[in-house]
Amino acid sequence: MAASIAPADRMLIEWECDRLVRRFAMLNDDRDHDGLAALFVEDARFSRPLAPESWTTGREAIRALFRDRPPRLARHIMTNTLVDVVSATEAKGRTYMTFVSTTDLSKTPPVAEPVLMYGQFDDLFVLEEGEWRFKERRGSVALRFEAKA
């Protein structure tokens, strides 16, 4: 808790961090790796949901991680974002992610792979140069839903 921050100011921080989470998803699905990298501070670290303990450290390494992925059509559906303000320049949060994707674009609309992944991101946010950015973003997966057995 950050008792010295007025409710309206706290809401604005929570809202900005929530927007950051949504921008991550949109830029990721748009395959805009430069836009994605700009959401992280210089010394941030990131792990993907399928490899929570495998950290990529530094904005440039994070940019390369996204840039060098095999192309795919994906939707990162972000929900339940809950941000807790630590101070006027620090916050932490958790977001649920539903992930659906395909590499096969032969149909219209494309048919997704027969698995939906249900995961989450645990985030540390910091205010830097007037913008809220990711300091740490740890992915993990909780469940998979399979269309075929």
Does 123 sit near a copy of itself (CB under 8 A)?
no
Residue of the chain from 43, 60, 69, 110 that contacts a copy of itself (CB under 8 A): 110
Residue 70 binds a copy of itself (CB under 8 A): no
Q: Decide: 101 and 70 in contact? Cβ < 8 Å.
A: no
Residue 78 is encoded by which pair of tokens? 């972000």
Contacts of 54 (CB under 8 A, 6+ apart): 47, 48
Tokens linked to 61: 């390494």
Q: Is 86 in the site for a copy of itself (CB under 8 A)?
A: no
Is residue 103 near a copy of itself by the rule CB under 8 A?
A: no
Residue 54 or residue 110: which is nearer to a copy of itself going by CB? 110
Q: What x-and-dash track marks residues 32-51 binding a copy of itself by CB under 8 A?
A: --------------------
State the pairing for strand pair 131-146/115-128: antiparallel
Q: Is 128 in the site for a copy of itself (CB under 8 A)?
A: no
DSSP 30-82: TT-HHHHHTTEEEEEEEE-TT-TT--EESHHHHHHHHHTSPP-EEEEEEEEEE
53 belongs to the binding site for a copy of itself (CB under 8 A): no
Minimum distance from CB of 40 to a copy of itself (Å)?
A: 18
Which of 38, 61, 64, 112 forms a contact with a copy of itself (CB under 8 A)?
112
